[in-house]
Structure 1
Amino acid sequence: MGDEQPAGRRGRALRDAAARAGRSLGMVDLDPVLRAHRAGYPKAKMGPVRRAYETAELAHRGQARKSGEPYIIHPIEVTLILAELGMDTATLQAALLHDTIEDTAYTLDELRSDFGDEIAVLVDGVTKLDGSKWGERAEAETFRKMILAAAADLRVLLIKLADRLHNLRTLGFQPAHKQQRIARQSQELLIPFAERLGMYELKREMDDLCFSVLQPEAHQAIAAALAGNEAGGRLILEPAVRRLRASLKDQRLSAEVVLHRRHLWAVHLDVGRRLDTLQPADLFRMLVLVDGEDRDCYIALGAVHESMSPVPGRLKDFISLPRFNLYRALHTRVIADGGKVMDVIIRTRQMHRMAERGLAAHIHDVARGQRADVAGRIDLEWLRRLLAWQNDASSADFLESLRGDLRPDLIAAFTTEGEVVPLPPGATPIDFAYALGPEIGNHAIGALVNGRLAPLHARLESGAVVHILTAETARPSAEGLDAATTPTARLLIRRHLAAQRADDAAVRGRRMVAEAVAATGWELLDLESRGVSGSVAARLGYRELDDLYGAVAAGDVELDDLVTRLTTDSA
């Protein structure tokens, strides 16, 4: 590829060269992608997808993956995942091109000229930073860059998730240490993103693939146990299914009842290695898919409780109060045949589609003109808040806060305006305050929790409505640090306390210098206004006078030597 070609001409030149050579670009390999895309978008033009494929195939030609397959197989498989999720044409083009900037001579400027700004932004958002330049910070800074791009266009995250899913599917070709690193990183950062976006279909597969790498023996044991007990479990639960179907029919409600097999990782989290106690209810969730509206789910709930005994206090209504990722359903726990506890999930067909595909389903509906753009209602406000104060955060601090915010066991607290604020169990009002923003956290003095006055160290329960009380004169304190539990709150409080200590040291140091200079007959304020102090500070390697004075207070700069320099320069 000739680097002398202007941006935008290389892709066209490569395609023209292939056409002149009469060489087929392997469109048979792209057919599954085109079929899936056409199924979701019957009127979509396939030319733009083919053109992106041609450019990617030529750019990657001659490259191979660890498996020995041509490299182009990877972007095709990533694109197929997204096409089957119903993603739009631009996303599929970006997916086909997503590794060209990182792994070939094709540049971002050329891609932008060939395919436009929209595709360029998506590709750039998922392109890793150069490890040789960024070193150990490359991973954190790549995530920071990706999240910045996702704040403007969430499709960046979807491409990244599809990319990681295919990499996990083919992880067996990587060396063992790399398998462990990729699987662990996926569990900590990528899988929680899938859950935040409501994409449980991807999440379940990624969970099990990581499980197989990180705990291969436990994975194999769970897989064997489920395979050996699935048929028998279905037989045992079938009478309960029949009773529920009859009860739904009595209510004149059209609904499908299915036994939904749980994925391996979820079963492992519940039963661990106690496989000898495995019960049919551990393997399945009873899923009721209602052909109707939201209100019909409540009718179905009555049918469930009529056919099986409900467990008191175990009803969760995610229809009237959706989760932060827009997940909606009714969850109830009942006692099925043999006295075994069984979980039942009730959804409409549309809720089920959203529960499985989340943001991807919303984007598909928006692109098809079937609904208004509701993707922004998925709670990524926490990402914007995170980025608002972390532009200058260290890589380690950024990753620590990101992992904390992506914990899977978050509770939901609410502002008085009804905004959902996800927090970890055990969180306090000071954590809530900093989740709203540094200024609110820095000036917090107390809280109203469910209308009652509460201290900043009080523990919040899920569903709490919180109003933070502030005072302009309030500042973060060591007591606030003790009360904080989230990485974000603790980092911001520590940062403020460190800055306050630096300010206090600068005040003490300046006082020391002023007294010493006055003893020689000079005024420090006069030396500062004439620029003498600033010049001396610069020669000593300090950018700010406060840094110099702080060093005096810490004993890092000899006071007598500094006074000599100041008075000599002022002469």
Structure 2
Amino acid sequence: MTTLNPANGKVPGPPGAALPDGPLPVAPRRRRPLAPVLYRLIAPGARARAADPVPSALAPLLAAHRAACPHPDEAALLRGYRVAEELHRGQLRKSGAPYITHPLAVATILAGLGLDTTTLVAALLHDTVEDTPYTLGQVRADFGDEIAVLVDGVTKLDGERWGDRAEAETFRKIVLSAAADLRVLVIKLADRLHNLRTLGFQPPHKRARIAKASHELLVPFAERLGVHVLKREMDDLAFAAGDPGAHAATGRAVRAAMRGAPAAFGPAVTRLRGALAEHRVRADVSVRVSHLYAVHKATGGDLAGLRPCQVARLLVVVDGAERDCYVALGAVHAALHPISGRVADYIALPKDNLYRSLHTRVISPDGDPLEVIVRSRAMHPVAEYGIVAHIRDAAHRTGGEGTGAVAGRRDLEWLGRLLAWQSDAPSERFLENLRTDLAEGDVAALSPAGQIVTLPAGATVLDFAYALGPATGDRSIGALVNGRPAALSAEVRGGNVVEVLTDPGSVPSADWLDFAVTAPARVHIGQALARRGAEEAAEAGRRLLVRALARRELDLLAAEAHGDSLAVARDLGYLEVDEMYAALTAGTLDLADLLARFAGA
């Protein structure tokens, strides 16, 4: 069980929490030396002193953890809180509240999701390495490797050291850390959720920037993990911060539309319940209102005459196995006229984020199109909490011992895709590629051998080719889509069978970047073009040097054979002779200086 409030769909935070992003020290920030009291808190015997009075500020977190976790280690949680509170003492939020209220709120959000004690302790400590004298080595020594990995994963890189690359490299670090333990991403999401909840203390320009970054990067990560309970609230909070006028207008329009919900949904629900009973399927049928940002995107901001069926849908949660979901789908279609071609089967073919349900569009009794979702009761927690549900179940089964193994799973296709291209992407392009890769809308297509390839909406045959591997992409010349010839620029649709045609002599073309959508395709095309450009520049520089040396009756080929060219290149600071030749083409190396060096070699 979790403590999710079903009335508003929000994960609970501390009562009255309204605190902003970022610590604000009383004086210009200085890293204080560790206080003697901290050494007592982290000393080996500190674990045994769990009988000390529990601070009142910690009570809501402990209560949420006890309610959701069958094996809480309250002593570890108390120790983590005391260390974090001591380390952050003297740091303030922009509201003037003590900074410890932020990590405490993040941990409470995670406790509401039902996460294990290890994750909550890491959440309490997640800003200590970044904002206090506490080091990662000390975290590891005091709390163990598992917590140190989580804290390290969410710690931002030093802006002074990394400069303009800090944000991109921080997100690259998060991706790599998530490969080791997905709880890193879950903590980061809870951290951003609390910062969005408390954005009111930030100036307008910063609110807009944080809202934009949240929609482009953090919300998509929540979607990829399937943690929709976080995604929905983050979506709406970022919407409110980024476009408060549209947010307010959407809220008014949804409330007005839902006043007609009983008349719009009542007859459909009555028919559906009757059909389910006839098909001998036990299920709960409920009306689910879409969150505001989803309505805003679906309507394009055109809120005139918004109807109940545009802002809500029916959810059928079946008591039974997978096959009962298909029986229930038949009952839906028997009760309400189905719209042809509008059934999506995410049970047989789950989404990247582990989501499994059946979606269908039908005509309601009053003639409006209506979406109906069917899933089993076992599928429902995963549909709401995604990977968190799996982590939570592992903790419940093993007393917490199996949590790390589930959180370290690397079989998620989207994560494998990120890991495959991230190391090849330069810092200046990494965030752009990450935004593209995380963009909403997945399309599942098939190879002739039956391999499922998941691509973002709008992806092309070329993207499909690169998804099969860089070598296939580089040599692709076209495709057969459902048996018919198609260009590399053709858009791939869900369910398409795509056979990529290749030529061993084919190489990537610069115009491919005009229609390549996915990050793997764009990264590999960019690398191929850069390699070819470097080769052409090196060849042009070499030809220039050959002609100049020939006029002095010197032979470059002989100099290369004897190693003189490499010696000159190394003397000039180049690792390879081709780099030296390319520099000559670019004009960054003076030809006269180079000739003098060869003459003296």
Determine if the TM-score, normalized by the shorter chain, exceeds 0.5.
yes
| Alpha-carbon distance in 1 for matches of 2:91, 2:590 | 61
- Structure 1 window deviating more from structure 2 (223-232 vs 275-284): it is 223-232
Indicate how the Cα distance of structure 1 residues 368 and 432 shifts in structure 2: closer, same or farther if over 3 A, else same. Answer: same
Give the match's secondary structure for 2:508.
coil
Count of residues paired in the alignment: 565
Q: How does 1:484-503 map to 2 (within 5 A)?
A: 484-503=516-535
- Report whether the alignment pairs 1:189 with 2:217: yes
Match for 1:120 among 148, 158, 166?
148
Match for 1:239 among 267, 285, 304?
267
| Alpha-carbon distance in 1 for matches of 2:202, 2:93 | 10
Indicate how the Cα distance of structure 1 residues 435 and 311 shifts in structure 2: closer, same or farther if over 3 A, else same. Answer: same
CA positional deviation for 1:379:
6.3
| Alpha-carbon distance in 2 for matches of 1:435, 1:167 | 36
| Alpha-carbon distance in 2 for matches of 1:121, 1:419 | 34
Which residue number in structure 1 is paired with residue 73 of structure 2?
Answer: 45
Question: Is contact 1:25–1:54 with CA below 8 Å preserved after alignment?
Answer: no
Q: Deviations over 1:512-533 (max 9, x none)?
A: 3234334434332443355543
Which residue number in structure 1 is paired with residue 323 of structure 2?
Answer: 295
- Report whether the alignment pairs 1:428 with 2:441: no
Indicate how the Cα distance of structure 1 residues 24 and 419 shifts in structure 2: closer, same or farther if over 3 A, else same. Answer: farther
Q: Could you tell me which amino acid in structure 2 is paired with residue 247 of structure 1?
A: A
Which residue number in structure 2 is paired with residue 108 of structure 1?
Answer: 136
Which residue number in structure 1 is paired with residue 437 of structure 2?
Answer: 405
| Alpha-carbon distance in 1 for matches of 2:253, 2:582 | 65
TM-score by length of 2: 0.86
Q: How does 1:174-253 map to 2 (within 5 A)?
A: 174-253=202-281
Indicate how the Cα distance of structure 1 residues 23 and 46 shifts in structure 2: closer, same or farther if over 3 A, else same. Answer: closer
Indicate how the Cα distance of structure 1 residues 189 and 251 shifts in structure 2: closer, same or farther if over 3 A, else same. Answer: same
Match for 2:383 among 352, 355, 360?
355
- Structure 1 window deviating more from structure 2 (150-159 vs 310-319): it is 310-319
- Structure 1 window deviating more from structure 2 (389-398 vs 121-130): it is 389-398
- Structure 1 window deviating more from structure 2 (46-55 vs 116-125): it is 46-55
Q: How does 1:84-99 map to 2 (within 5 A)?
A: 84-99=112-127
| Alpha-carbon distance in 2 for matches of 1:424, 1:285 | 24
Q: How does 1:529-540 map to 2 (within 5 A)?
A: 529-538=561-570, 540=572
Give the match's secondary structure for 1:504.
helix
Q: Could you tell me which amino acid in structure 2 is paired with residue 40 of structure 1?
A: A
CA positional deviation for 1:368:
2.3
Structure (1/2) with the larger helix percentage: 1
Match for 2:96 among 62, 65, 68?
68
Match for 2:471 among 428, 439, 460?
439
| Alpha-carbon distance in 2 for matches of 1:4, 1:208 | 40
- Structure 1 window deviating more from structure 2 (147-156 vs 540-549): it is 540-549
Q: Deviations over 1:269-317 (max 9, x none)?
A: 2234443311111232111111111111122122222222222222211
Which residue number in structure 2 is paired with residue 149 of structure 1?
Answer: 177
- Report whether the alignment pairs 1:509 with 2:541: yes
CA positional deviation for 1:537:
3.4
Q: Deviations over 1:132-152 (max 9, x none)?
A: 222222111110111111111
Give the match's secondary structure for 1:369.
helix
Question: Is contact 1:15–1:58 with CA below 8 Å preserved after alignment?
Answer: no
| Alpha-carbon distance in 2 for matches of 1:43, 1:541 | 60
| Alpha-carbon distance in 2 for matches of 1:166, 1:148 | 23
Give the match's secondary structure for 1:522.
coil
| Alpha-carbon distance in 1 for matches of 2:112, 2:451 | 33
Give the match's secondary structure for 2:379.
helix
| Alpha-carbon distance in 2 for matches of 1:228, 1:385 | 43
Which residue number in structure 1 is paired with residue 13 of structure 2?
Answer: none
Indicate how the Cα distance of structure 1 residues 234 and 84 shifts in structure 2: closer, same or farther if over 3 A, else same. Answer: same
Indicate how the Cα distance of structure 1 residues 387 and 130 shifts in structure 2: closer, same or farther if over 3 A, else same. Answer: same
Question: For structure 1, which runs of at least 5 residues remain unmatched after alignment?
Answer: none
CA positional deviation for 1:41:
2.6
| Alpha-carbon distance in 2 for matches of 1:495, 1:41 | 48
| Alpha-carbon distance in 1 for matches of 2:598, 2:233 | 68
Question: Is contact 1:317–1:330 with CA below 8 Å preserved after alignment?
Answer: yes
- Report whether the alignment pairs 1:307 with 2:335: yes
| Alpha-carbon distance in 1 for matches of 2:267, 2:416 | 50
Question: Is contact 1:9–1:110 with CA below 8 Å preserved after alignment?
Answer: no
Give the match's secondary structure for 1:288.
strand
Which residue number in structure 2 is paired with residue 456 of structure 1?
Answer: 488
Give the match's secondary structure for 1:338.
coil
User: Could you tell me the percent identity over the aligned residues?
Assistant: 54
Question: Is contact 2:286–2:314 with CA below 8 Å preserved after alignment?
Answer: yes
TM-score by length of 1: 0.90
- Structure 1 window deviating more from structure 2 (279-288 vs 543-552): it is 543-552
Question: Is contact 1:389–1:438 with CA below 8 Å preserved after alignment?
Answer: no
CA positional deviation for 1:168:
0.5
Which residue number in structure 1 is paired with residue 42 of structure 2?
Answer: 12
Match for 1:323 among 351, 356, 365?
351
Output the aligned Cα RMSD: 3.1
Question: Is contact 1:325–1:378 with CA below 8 Å preserved after alignment?
Answer: no
CA positional deviation for 1:476:
1.9
| Alpha-carbon distance in 2 for matches of 1:496, 1:80 | 48
Indicate how the Cα distance of structure 1 residues 274 and 453 shifts in structure 2: closer, same or farther if over 3 A, else same. Answer: closer
| Alpha-carbon distance in 1 for matches of 2:409, 2:310 | 33
Q: Could you tell me which amino acid in structure 2 is paired with residue 12 of structure 1?
A: I
Indicate how the Cα distance of structure 1 residues 540 and 5 shifts in structure 2: closer, same or farther if over 3 A, else same. Answer: same
Higher relative contact order (CA 8 A, sep 6+): 2
- Report whether the alignment pairs 1:476 with 2:504: no
| Alpha-carbon distance in 2 for matches of 1:240, 1:392 | 53
- Report whether the alignment pairs 1:33 with 2:65: no
| Alpha-carbon distance in 2 for matches of 1:303, 1:381 | 33
| Alpha-carbon distance in 2 for matches of 1:336, 1:502 | 62
Q: Could you tell me which amino acid in structure 2 is paired with residue 368 of structure 1?
A: H
CA positional deviation for 1:183:
0.6
